[in-house]
Amino acid sequence: MDIKVLGPGCANCRSTYALIEQVARERGVPVTLAKVEDLKAIAASGILATPGVVIDGTVVHAGGVPPRARIEQWLAALGPAMATAEAGSCCGGGSKGKCCG
Q: For position 77, what pLDDT does the model report?
A: 80
Read off φ and ψ for residue 23, nearest 5 degrees.
Answer: -65, -40
Tell whether 80 is covered by a domain. yes
Q: Residue 58 falls within a domain, yes or no?
A: yes
Domain contains 22: yes
Instruction: Flag whether 100 is in a domain.
Output: no
Beta strand pairing call for 58-62 and 32-36: unpaired
Number of domains the chain is built from: 1
- Look at residue 101 and tell me if it is in a domain: no
CATH of the domain at 56: 3.40.30.10
Domain coverage including residue 68? 2-95
Residue 7 main-chain phi, psi, to 5 deg:
170, 165
Any domain includes 82:
yes
List the chain residues with pLDDT less than 70.
78-101
Give me the pLDDT at residue 78, please. 64
For CA atoms 68, 22, 50, 6, the dihedral sign is negative
Give the tens place of pLDDT for each residue, 12-27.
999 999 999 999 999 9
